[in-house]
């Protein structure tokens, strides 16, 4: 429970950390409002902070808490599992580096509905030349062994 409170407090602090800059004399830049990148969804700002509107905060369960001043580390590493709200979007990311190959129905498009168990794509791990040649040699050995077993099975089946 304390970890979620800490995460909520860190998200609130990073979302509200914006500094105002005022133009000096002779540098009037007009009364233009801030440029909005579009939509009311979560957005990363140019200064690295995150804009997270109240509806999005409610969807992912971020709550505003009163904080106290104190000595805190600059970063905190959190290990956990992210569970997305089914009414919101999500990002699918591979655990290993590699090349993405299309699944049985091709690569999914943006906004396409998917359900649990759907194969979206395959990740072919990136390997160096030596490791790839070793894997190809092992594959050739396995194919040869399979062919020998199939011939032996055919010979033994013919005797019965």
| Residues 57, 64: Cα–Cα separation, whole Å | 9
| Residues 80, 86: Cα–Cα separation, whole Å | 19
Q: Tell me the pLDDT of the chain averaged across its residues.
A: 75
100 beta partners: 123
pLDDT at 74: 79
| Residues 101, 158: Cα–Cα separation, whole Å | 43
Find the mean pLDDT for residues 111-123: 81
| Residues 97, 129: Cα–Cα separation, whole Å | 16
The proportion of the chain whose per-residue pLDDT surpasses 70, expressed as a percent, equals 62
pLDDT at 48: 77
Q: Strand ranges (DSSP E) for the chain? A: 43-44, 50-51, 98-102, 121-125
**What's the pTM?**
0.27
Find the mean pLDDT for residues 81-97: 66
Longest dimension (CA), the chain: 103
4-54 per-position pLDDT tens digit: 655 666 565 555 554 455 556 665 555 555 555 556 677 888 887 878 888
């Amino acid at each position: 429970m304390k970890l979620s409170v800490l995460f909520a407090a860190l998200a609130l602090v990073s979302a509200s950390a914006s500094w105002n800059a005022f133009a000096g004399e002779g540098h009037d830049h007009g009364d233009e409002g801030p440029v909005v990148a579009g939509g009311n969804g979560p957005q990363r700002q140019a200064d690295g902070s995150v804009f997270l509107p109240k509806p999005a905060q409610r969807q992912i369960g971020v709550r505003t808490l009163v904080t106290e001043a104190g000595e805190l580390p600059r970063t905190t590493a959190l290990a956990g599992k992210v569970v997305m709200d089914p009414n919101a979007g999500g990002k699918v990311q591979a655990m290993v580096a590699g090349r993405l190959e299309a699944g049985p129905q091709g690569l999914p498009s943006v906004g396409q509905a998917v359900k649990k168990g759907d194969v979206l794509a395959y990740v072919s791990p990136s390997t160096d030349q030596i490791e790839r040649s070793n894997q190809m040699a092992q594959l050739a050995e396995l194919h040869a062994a399979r062919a020998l077993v199939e011939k032996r099975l055919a010979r033994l089946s013919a005797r019965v």
